[in-house]
Amino acid sequence: MSDEPNRNWTESLSAAERVEAVALTVGQPRTANWIAGEAEVAHETATKYLERLVDDGKLRTDSRGRQTTYEPDPVGQYLVEMRELYDSHSPDELAASLEDMNEQIAGWKDKYDVKTPNQLRASLASGDDSRDGGERRRTAREWEHLAARRRLVEDALRLHDRFPSDPRSASV
């Protein structure tokens, strides 16, 4: 019974798809052996597909000592996400999203009387209300995520400026 999920994994995805799925979701750099084990493929198979992912700009490598590790390439991921936003949203939709993000951040600034996520974290030291420490930490993380997302949306809007003749850039 415990082998059933493994069979579904190996039957529903090709070896290349499994290697990519594992490699693009690691939280820290991993070796080809580790990725091969997780993807349930041979080391040579994993290495072949990992090198393709590196060539495609989806992964980056780090060779220290005798081991090479693989991790998602943050620049490649950023560019893919920006392209997805550009392809799937009009400039007006992106602008509305920016407005929502700006309102959320302005609300946090007002609520906590701070200007940055790190100032919010530092406010934990004041001990004004220790009951909301967890909420402040979560808010600081969300704020940082939203700030990064905002930069991504701004860059997608710049693509619409850069390529105005593209029919996707017309407002709906």
What is d(CA 10, CA 25) in angstroms, rounded to the nearest whole number?
17
Q: Record the tokens describing residue 131, joined without a space.
A: 């009951």
pLDDT the model gives residue 1: 40
CATH 3.40.50.970 fits 4-72, yes or no: no
The answer for residues whose C-beta is within 8 angstroms of residue 170's C-beta and 6 or more apart is 90
Q: What is the DSSP letter of 59?
A: E
Per the document, the length of the chain is: 172
pLDDT exceeds cutoff 80 at 170: no
- The pTM is what? 0.65
Answer yes or no: are the C-beta atoms of 101 and 86 closer than 8 Å: no
pLDDT tens sequence across 15-48: 999 999 999 999 899 999 999 999 999 999 999 9
Answer yes or no: are the C-beta atoms of 82 and 150 closer than 8 Å: no
pLDDT tens sequence across 63-110: 887 899 999 998 888 888 899 999 999 999 999 999 999 999 999 999
Mean pLDDT of 118-124: 90
pLDDT the model gives residue 88: 93
